[in-house]
Each structure stands twice: as C-alpha cells, then as structure tokens.
Amino acid sequence: MSKTKYSALKVLKEALTGHKGWEPAWRDAEPKADGYDVIIVGGGGHGLATAYYLAKNHGITNIAVLEKGWIGGGNVGRNTTIIRSNYLLPGNEPFYEMSMQLWENLEQDLNYNAMVSQRGIMNLIHSDAQRDAFMRRGNAMLFADAGCEYLNKKEVKERYPFLDMDNARFPIQGALAQPRGGTVRHDAVAWGYARGASDLGVDIIQNCEVTGFNIENGKCLGVKTTKGDIKAGRVGVCVAGSSSRVMAKAGINLPIESHVLQAFVTEGLKPVMDNVITFGAGHFYCSQSDKGGLVFGGDIDAYNTYAQRGNLPVVEDVCSGGMAIMPMVGRVRLLRMWGGIMDMSMDGSPFIDKTDVQELFFNGGWCYGGFKATPASGYCYAHLLATDEPHEVATAFRLDRFRRGEMIDEKGVGAQPNLH
C-alpha cells in the first residue's frame, strides 16, 4: 500500500477532484501462515503505538497486532482525553515527561491530525497542607523539565470567574498548573498509530481474539486465536482492562484488580473553559471539547467489575463534585455517560516487563492514567521487546516490585487498588 501524505494541499486537490483519491488509512490484514517475529495482543492505543515504534525505531516489521474487536474500540476511545506529566515519584515522572514530549511531536511524526491541544491543566488547591504537597510535586516536575507554575487565588479567579472560590468546605486557595498539559483527540491516536504501523508493514488483524498461548517448556511459541493458531518469536500482551483474563490463559496471576471508571459529557456550551481543571479534594476533573461539551469524570466505582458500565451512586458523587467547584454546571444537561474497565494495580502504577514465561511480555496496570502514557508506553514496550532491556525511563515498572518492596505508590495508600 502506498503511503498517502496528508496535507492541506492534498485536501484541496481531493476537494477539486471529487474525493476519489483517498485510500483506507490502514490495511486490514489476515494472519500469515508462517507466523510473525512479534505478535502484539491488543489493538488499543498502547498496542498500536508499540507496533509502530518497533517498526520505526528497531526495524522489526514482521509484526501482527491482534485485536478481539475493532482497533480503538477499548479504553483509547473511552477516556477523558487528558494529557499531563505532573507526577511526583522518580519511577514515574521521567516516563510521563517523555510521553509528553512524544505527544508534542506526535502529529508531525505520524503525519496525522490528532488535535493535540496544549491548553494547560490546573490542579486546584484548597488548604495549606494541599499547597505544601502540590509545591513538592511542582518541584519534582521542575526536576524532570516538565514545567509548572503556581497560581494564587486571585489569578485563578481572574481566569475562571465561574469557580466557587469561597465554598465553605473546599475554598479555592490557588492552583498548581502545567501549561504544557492538555487534551488530544483520543480516537485519532489509535488511527494515527495504526496508519503509521501499517505503512511500515505491520499486519493489523481485527476480530481476532486470543484464546490461549502455545507454551512449551516454559517458552511461548505463539498464540491460539479465533482465527487459528499463529506462531510468534515473541508475544507482547498489551490489553489493559482485560489483563488478568488474558494472562490467566498463560497461568499467570497479576497484582491487578479490574474496576470501572465512568466518564461523562454534557450538551454543547459556548466556550467557557480553555483549560483542564481538576478538583482533587472531591475528585472531579473537567475540560471542554471542541464541540463545546464539558467532558468530565471522577472516582472509580470501587468494586471489582468487568462490566463496561457503572452504577448511579458514583454518577451522583461525580456530579456533586462538579457542583461544589463550578455551580454553573447545575443547569447543564448530561448528554452521555459510559464506563471503561481499568487495570487497578496494587500501587497505582503500571507494568512494562518480561514474565516468567520466556518470550512472553506484559504491559498493563495503567489504572486510570493509561491514555496520557500511550506514546511512551509504546516506545518503552517496543524497546523492551526489541532489546530485552527496559528503556531507561521505564526501569521501575517491574512485575516483581511488590516482592522486592519497591512500590511506586503516588498516593501512599498501600495495596488497596480501589483507592488509587
């Protein structure tokens, strides 16, 4: 398939010639009889990014991405599209900052409009203790060149006069802002990586569910699928949300529980919020989409589930969080809400690692922070799959870290996955 370069000139040319020259953005493939050097299980954002960087950075192009449904139909299309690199701990922050830098060049790299919008993100501060904690996090961000700024109460009020500054329970005293944070059109991330990978020779195989692994003498030789057995030199599982179910087929239990996170969008409003605003004390985060809808979310439902829908108490909880800081949303109608399944790990941080089965690798445990990590997750997983060594910013994401007592627990709540 020849690569069509997208450009304003191309759009103009097609507009004048009846749009007859467009081709499918990626090639819908069937499994090759003689197998692949690498099989990526899971055609979400992370899986497609992994295939893309394996081909681009490491020259490995005999790759298949297996997806049980359609690409981009899982969590990459269910999140609230926020990108940021405002973490505290050394195991996390350099990784997320690398992701941010990849986001900044993503569209040029992929020649694909992913609507990367660095509109900024603002974490509201409500108490002296929270200010101290955010200042510490801000310093960690500065160490990692992520950039940040402190806004005092007056500056916050000037920018967003609709905020309830003098709320009795959570008065707003300021904010920690990361001006480079923002939002990205999430579907376009999956499509852009799929197109980039496909152009480099990767087979994207949809409607192909992995039903088992062919493991002999502790070595993975390939996968069993609904489209038959497929041989592979190396298998990389990348199915956050279904990690425990897929890895159980290889006999591996993980330090992960599955929980549902709900997200919401309102009817379209005129431009009111040119930033991502987060209310950590009550857990509510919100941005305004280009169509005008307020996109927001809050806490997970807090019980194990694989159903991609939540229950009403959390809807009420999230909406009251919104009302507490921006009462003007009270008269806005909710347009849609949905749920996605999160791999909640035991310390709130992810895994990119080898497993005890030779040639079987694992990427997952992203909790509800997987979207922002997409580029770096793919980049680092590709590095591990190609070189057998973790990338330097992803050395902490090991599966055995709990056994060694080296957790990466941003919140400090311990092995209680529904609280991360």
Partner 1 sequence: MIINHPLLGPRDSEEFVYLGSADLINRPTNWESEEAAEDFYQYLYIRENIAGDNRELWYHEQGDQSWLVVTRCTLTHEIKSVELAQDVSRAQGRSK
| CA–CA separation, 410 and 93 (whole Å) | 10
- Minimum Å gap between C-beta 355 and partner 1 is 13
| CA–CA separation, 389 and 383 (whole Å) | 7
Which of the residues 385 through 404 are near partner 1 (CB under 8 A)?
A: 402-403
Q: Does 413 bind partner 1 (CB under 8 A)?
A: no
Q: Which residue has the tokens 């800081």?
A: 325
| CA–CA separation, 251 and 257 (whole Å) | 16
DSSP state of 418: G
- Minimum Å gap between C-beta 231 and partner 1 is 28
Which of the residues 325 through 384 are near partner 1 (CB under 8 A)?
A: 346
Task: Label residue 289 left, alpha or beta by phi (over 0 means left) and psi (-120 to 50 means alpha).
Answer: beta
Q: Which is nearer to partner 1, 13 or 309 (CB)?
A: 309
Q: Which is nearer to partner 1, 185 or 249 (CB)?
A: 249
| CA–CA separation, 180 and 326 (whole Å) | 23
Q: Which is nearer to partner 1, 230 or 254 (CB)?
A: 254
Q: Does 258 bind partner 1 (CB under 8 A)?
A: yes
Q: Does 418 bind partner 1 (CB under 8 A)?
A: yes
DSSP helix/strand/coil, 93: helix
Count, residues in the chain: 420
Q: Does 417 bind partner 1 (CB under 8 A)?
A: yes
Q: Does 305 bind partner 1 (CB under 8 A)?
A: yes
- Minimum Å gap between C-beta 303 and partner 1 is 5
Binder of partner 1 out of 257, 299, 359, 410 (CB under 8 A): 257
DSSP helix/strand/coil, 22: coil
- List the end-to-end C-alpha distance of the chain, in Å, as a whole number: 44
Binder of partner 1 out of 125, 254, 295, 326 (CB under 8 A): 254
Q: Are 72 and 191 in contact (CB under 8 A)?
A: yes
Q: Which is nearer to partner 1, 142 or 307 (CB)?
A: 307
Chain residues that interact with partner 1, rule: CB under 8 A: 244-245, 248, 253-258, 302-307, 311, 313, 346, 402-403, 415-418
